[in-house]
Amino acid sequence: MLYRFREAQSIELGLSKPKERRPHLASLANTLDEAEKWRRDVIREISRNVSKINDASLPEAHIRDLNDDINKLLRAKNHWEDRVLQLGGPDYKMIGPKMIDHQGKQVPGNRGYKYFGRAKELPGVRELFETQSNATTKSKQNNRAELIKHADAVYFGYSDEADDGELLEYERQVTEQRMLKLRSAHDATLSDGSSSNESDDSENES
């Protein structure tokens, strides 16, 4: 109360400016600078709440409220980033850091709602994540078991030669062609040698 009184007194005396409130709707921002300013303001508020929600001394009710606030602020951040883009600014959804978003954990079917910090350990929430983890592990095991169940010698490549008659026929034809070429070359060499000997004998007789 004393702090608020002094703050109000300071504003009345002109010693400080009243704190500007963030517009409830991002569409109310008419300039890029304004939209950028409120986007940064939302990010700072998210960061403060994420730090608070890791406090081990907080009661469960406070943790739930903080987690709700963080999710609301994340939605607000998305609205301000859309507004920045509409006003000709950068697309922060494509190039912006995702560290804050990645700190949260989402349960499938929860429409994007995320749990941060100690909220992940709340009764009921922890069980949801454990169920999700077990279901994922079981699904992977079942998929692997199904693959192995239906795998046969063909899958592992053991019967390729037995089944692929075209490949074997092609290999046989190539081998025969190579053998014919070798024989032809050999016969040609022998023929050239015989012709040379006959020519030498003719010269000696004359």
* Contact criterion met (CB below 8 Å) for 116 and 67: yes
Question: Residue 154 above 50 pLDDT?
Answer: no
pLDDT at 95: 82
The 10 Å Cβ neighbour count of residue 66 is 22
Highest mean pLDDT among 12-26, 77-91, 166-180: 77-91
Task: Report the pLDDT averaged over residues 52-66.
Answer: 93
pTM for the structure as a whole: 0.54
b (16+ CB within 10 A) / e for 88-120? eeeebeeebeeebeebbeeeeeeeeebbbbbbb
Confidence of residue 80 (pLDDT cuts 50, 70, 90): very high
